[in-house]
Structure 1
Amino acid sequence: MTAAPHVPEVLFVCVHNAGRSQMAAALLEHHAAGRVAVRSAGSAPVDTVNPAVVEVMNELGIDVSRNVPTKLLTEDVAASDVVITMGCGDACPIFPGKRYEDWALEDPAGQGADAVRPIRDDIDRRVRDLLADLVGDATDDVSPG
């Protein structure tokens, strides 16, 4: 009997878990369609997802309005194969054997939808590249126009 193939686990971390990490997790979940386990967390989470993030993700048909920012736990990092940080500095614990990437992205906090759209699109490109690297291909294009 053969074992089920390993599903890579990806953790996205930013400070508030209200913008960049929420968009990245939702986009990877959408594109991966179950081929990757996805979670997100923040080193200092806030109460709700950024309203501009909710708006620009809705434009792609992805609803993050019910997502709740969560606190980064050491267990989240330990369970992940890939940890993507986005401006959280040294808040992430380091475990040997994990793949770490730091994505330098503008913080959408306090910005309107027009400023958040390019951040979303940059994250979408990076997520597609990550997915292609992890499972060999990316799926449908949700980017507008």
Structure 2
Amino acid sequence: MSSAPSVLFVCVHNAGRSQMAAAFLIHLAGGRVRVRSAGTAPAGSVNPVAVEAMRETGIDISARIPTLLTAGTVELSDVVITMGCGDTCPYFPGTRYLDWQLDDPAGADLATVRRIRDDIERRVRGLLTELGVTPTV
């Protein structure tokens, strides 16, 4: 891996889990990790309940736009973290893949999304440790 590892978060709609994970990694890594997120079938907008749950942590994801996953995005990444996209994610030898089993926040109430958000933050902090990056907060 280069001095600034590249991490890609992938879920189906790129509207909840992957957006929250990317936002946490951007916030906690302080520019020391290149961060992307994408979806295999992106939604038209980010889940408003995920936006509210993240706002409670002081992180604003309201302007983020779901993005289509491409093979090029995967190829540019050192670590690809999948969240429920199954076999639809492209595979490239030499790329590290992790699958985070997380509930889908689509249609969930705020209390449920908070639980998912907190699980994602815990996992992102663990990822930073694995990458040798000390969280900024």
Shorter chain as denominator, the TM-score bin is over 0.9
Q: After superposition, give the CA deviation of every residue in 1:84-124 in whole Å (9 maximum; x if it has no partner).
A: 00000011111111110000000000112111000000000
Larger Rg: 1
Q: Is the 8 A contact 2:80 2:95 kept in 1?
A: yes
1:59 maps to: 56
**TM-score computed with the length of structure 1 as normaliser:** 0.91
1:143 maps to: none
Q: Please, which runs of 5 or more residues in structure 1 have no aligned partner?
A: 141-145
Q: Does 1:126 align with 2:123?
A: yes
Matched to 1:66, the amino acid is A
Q: Does 1:138 align with 2:121?
A: no
1:9 to 6, 19, 30: 6
Aligned-pair identity (%): 63
Matched to 1:100, the amino acid is Y
Considering only aligned residues, what root-mean-square deviation do their CA atoms show, in Å?
A: 0.9
Equivalent pairs, count: 136
The runs of at least 4 aligned residues of structure 1 exceeding 2 Å deviation read 135-139
Q: Does 1:72 align with 2:69?
A: yes
Q: Does 1:43 align with 2:40?
A: yes
1:109 maps to: 106
**TM-score computed with the length of structure 2 as normaliser:** 0.97
1:22 maps to: 19
Q: Please, which runs of 5 or more residues in structure 2 have no aligned partner?
A: none
